Structure 1
Amino acid sequence: MKALIRHFLLAVSFLTVLLPWSQKLHGESPKREMRGVWLATVWGIDWPSVSGTTPEIRKKQMAQLTDILDRCESMNLTSVFFQVRGMSDVMYESSLEPWSSFVSGKRGVSPGWDPLKFVVEECHRRGLECYAWVNPFRWSAGTDYNSEQDREWKRRGWLLTHGKYTVLNPGIEEVRQHIVGICREIVTGYDVDGLVFDDYFYPNRIPEDASAADHGLWREQAPWMDFGDWRRANVHKTIADVHCMLLDCCPEVRFGISPAGVAGKPHTSAPKWGMESCGVKADDWQYKEIYSDPLGWLFQNTIDFISPQIYWPTTHATAPYGPLAQWWSEAASLYGCHFYSSMTLAPLEKTDTPEQRRELLRQVETNRRHSLTGEFGSVLYSAKFLPKLASELSSGHFASKSLTPELRRSWHIRPDTPIDAVCRNGVLRWSDDRRTTGEGRRRYAVYAFPRHLEEDEIMDAGGDGIKSEYLLRVVYDCQTAVPAGLAYAVTTLSGNSLESEPVFVR
């Protein structure tokens, strides 16, 4: 009932968008666009502000998440990247890793509820996709953890340290399969829409000589390889194994990675993978310092999208936003991958000026302008900064709802059209025979348009179904409240955002 009330209120507000149908608005708010946000939990960056296990703390943590997700919905975002594993600890009930101290206050202690389950359900209640954000290898940034699982990993020799950073050693096959197991546990246990890694791989600047703790392992496994190439290959293997697991278990769960913002220089990876080098002055530090090789993942077709952290303004002297976004878009397109730029809102914390906000809006425009295939998007870092730009985005660039871009895979076909659609007492309902069989991730796009328009008048001239200005919302259930006095259409969306033919209700 609460969901229907929420949908009713949104339906009322939708009338202000429905009329007039401005071509300018259409251009500013495209039908298909990734509009994501990073929701960081490590160190309580975005959430939670307090940790513990009491009912009072639990209630406060849930309320804070609800506020964040309400804001995401009101801004017409499409997706939330929720950090479920930051330090080889988790924000859900796991049989493989300890509970995160950032939610319960003590590593390995349950907070008494399941944050991932809560976020998935609350995202879907608002029509938002939920991506599980996983740090693949990071174990510690200086803290010596000592839960039961931590002690076991130490006993097995799984940890690799340089400076203050410790990771689960990517060179160990058991470690790589453990990470695959964690990802399998998430995607099979929770109805997440996607899985995303960030940019923590090897410890920064770990040496490539006998002083390195993994030197002996390299000599044992692959002495014929360059030390650095062996490390990059270990990262490649992990990503490829996760990709294969997803294709086997949950092929409609999308998989992406968010590397550092500069890659593909002439002296690093561009020649190796057949890509024109990145022309900015800034260096590809990630290739040699953390053994991250994004062009390799694109070339090997082991990810569905790339979301590089282009955290510099358009005027930056050595890493200007525009040329970087264009290069990444071209690289993704070359290898058949989607490019969704990660851009930071953090400068607004210190310099919240009209010009700084205009700069960030220019970056959204740049992402759209440089897309070669129309499969573009922006992922905002991070959730705590959303209020700083909410008004500008929700009234302009994100003024209308959006669907995420289609992920086209050769074996996927468009889903079946919903059936038995009917509207009574302000509630639109329909049926989906395959929903009850658990066949893939399924959600629905709901459209509303004036009754006097014929069906062919509301269709997109480019062949992408119904025009974007009539998109009312995305829902995960087979019903929703709708504004009175209009005609409606419903389509099924697969997990890869392929859209069915519509069913109309007048």
Structure 2
Amino acid sequence: MEPWSRYLTGTPGKAPEPFYDPLQFWIDECHRQGLEFHAWLNPFRVAQNSNELLGGNHIAFQHPEWIVKYGNLLYFDPGLPQAREFVTRVVKDIVLRYDVDAIHFDDYFYPYPLAADYPDTVSFALYNRGFRKEDKADWRRENVDIIIKMLNDTIKATKPWVKFGISPFGVWRNKADDPRGSDTNAGATNYDHLYADVIKWQQNGWIDYLLPQIYWQIGHPQADFKLLANWWKDHAYNRGMYIGHAVYKIEAGSATPAWTRPGEIPNQIRMLRKTPGIEGSAFYSAKHFNRDLFGLQDSLRNSLYRKPAIVPPMKWIDNTPPQPVKKISKRGKKVKWKTENAELVTDKPNLFVVYGNESGTFFDAGNNNFFWGIVKETELKFAPFNSKKKKYEVRISVLDRLNNESTPSKPVKVKL
């Protein structure tokens, strides 16, 4: 439905040569390595520059009345039902044709405000739904509410296991404007400037998780990382809540001392791990891990993320654990197992957790020391890691598509 991106070949609308499907490649590689793939979209953005060439089959040529220019960018007008329906069809097409694990929206709904007002007088005149001119902000928020609910309903009707998440700006509202807001002094907010009432969507169950972009340091005078993390965890409403970190701000020449020191991001992560209701972290953006981050990569690899973790399950989508391993065997240092067949996608084995404990010691699946890893295949060959070749009990549990975990298998003993 959408033309090929110019970022692939330099020419909008032109397929790669030799042909390949980059989205399918990303999905395959993620799943091969036991990762989830969340397709990140900016729903209403058409072009980063109004002079930018678009593919010849772009919907903007068929329906120029759906497009507005704001600043030097082009957007779909969220006030038009036709534009909302088109965006929903595009998302449905992705979910239907690709094995994505989630659809993920960026913080842009209505764009960040400029000096001029957003040019939606025509759509407001045609589709105001009884809102008065002085209540236009509420109308805009309802436009976004409508598409969020429409998208969630469409995604879940197409593939019930596909998650829907939002990565909003780090401040919902300032307390000065709303007693429910955070004690911050942000110049822009989701509710007042982007017309995105994200906690309403979370509370109403229209989305599966929020991933607020708290791109400030601990102790920021207007938007303190710790204060905001605690505010967001109080608004999780029994849905997923993760936090976005500003890796891109780490810089020796930064005017903010916190971003010139190696400990800022690790300290944020440690703080979140002590905050009930916050289930993980994300980092913006991945490309910055290719440069000097004052040893952050080593801190993540060797300490904070030394072991893999099970992605938190989403019980409101599926809370049924898969069937446990039906047979486990070993020969030498190789362990193999077989699984039960399952009809439903949500019940099929997806990944396997490997547990190990020294033979004769009490096994506790909740003890992180016994969590050895997560694998994709149904066999595993161990390398010796103990010069004394002790015996270890190895158990395998099954993870389904939504990361519900089965009970562990009976143990097999392996000398390692």
Would you call these one fold, judging by a TM-score over 0.5? Answer: yes
Letter in 2 for 1:204: Y
Q: Which residue of 1 aligns with 2:302?
A: 395
- Asked if the contact 2:27/2:100 (under 8 Å) is kept, the reply is yes
Q: 1:421 aligns with which of 324, 328, 332?
A: 328
Q: Which residue of 2 aligns with 1:110?
A: 15
Q: 1:122 to 1:158 in 2, by over 3 A?
A: same
Q: 1:156 to 1:413 in 2, by over 3 A?
A: same
Secondary structure of 1:129's aligned partner = coil
Q: Which residue of 1 aligns with 2:240?
A: 338
Q: 1:183 to 1:478 in 2, by over 3 A?
A: farther
Q: CA deviation at 1:442?
A: 4.1
- Asked if the contact 1:252/1:495 (under 8 Å) is kept, the reply is yes
Q: 1:146 to 1:382 in 2, by over 3 A?
A: closer
Secondary structure of 1:232's aligned partner = helix
Q: Which residue of 1 aligns with 2:110?
A: 202
- How many residue pairs are counted as aligned between the two chains? 393
How far apart are the structure 1 equivalents of 2:169 and 2:3? 28
Q: 1:432 to 1:394 in 2, by over 3 A?
A: same
Segment of structure 1 superposing worse, 239-248 or 147-156: 147-156
Q: Deviations over 1:417-466 (max 9, x none)?
A: 12222234544333333457645564223224234145xx222xxxxx44
How far apart are the structure 1 equivalents of 2:189 and 2:176? 11
Where in structure 2 are there 5+ consecutive unaligned residues? Answer: 385-390
Q: CA deviation at 1:406?
A: 2.2
How far apart are the structure 2 equivalents of 1:493 and 1:216? 51
Q: 1:475 aligns with which of 359, 363, 375?
A: 375
How far apart are the structure 2 equivalents of 1:290 and 1:354? 27
Q: Deviations over 1:346-379 (max 9, x none)?
A: 12244599962211111101212222x4x51110
Q: CA deviation at 1:338?
A: 1.9
Secondary structure of 2:46's aligned partner = strand
Q: Deviations over 1:382-427 (max 9, x none)?
A: 1122253210112222122211112121763122112222234544
Q: 1:265 to 1:394 in 2, by over 3 A?
A: same
More helix by share: 1
TM-score by length of 2: 0.86
Secondary structure of 1:161's aligned partner = strand
Q: Which residue of 1 aligns with 2:36?
A: 129
TM-score by length of 1: 0.71
Letter in 1 for 2:273: R
Percent same amino acid among aligned pairs?
Answer: 27
Letter in 2 for 1:397: L
Q: Deviations over 1:140-183 (max 9, x none)?
A: 12143331332555535221221112112212222222222222
- Asked if the contact 1:232/1:291 (under 8 Å) is kept, the reply is yes
How far apart are the structure 2 equivalents of 1:207 and 1:216? 19
Q: Deviations over 1:3-59 (max 9, x none)?
A: xxxxxxxxxxxxxxxxxxxxxxxxxxxxxxxxxxxxxxxxxxxxxxxxxxxxxxxxx
Q: Which residue of 2 aligns with 1:247?
A: 156
- Asked if the contact 1:205/1:288 (under 8 Å) is kept, the reply is no
Q: CA RMSD in A?
A: 2.6
How far apart are the structure 2 equivalents of 1:434 and 1:218? 54
Q: CA deviation at 1:131?
A: 1.3
- Asked if the contact 1:101/1:107 (under 8 Å) is kept, the reply is yes
Matched, 1:189 2:97: yes
Secondary structure of 1:422's aligned partner = strand
Matched, 1:385 2:288: yes
- Asked if the contact 2:252/2:259 (under 8 Å) is kept, the reply is no
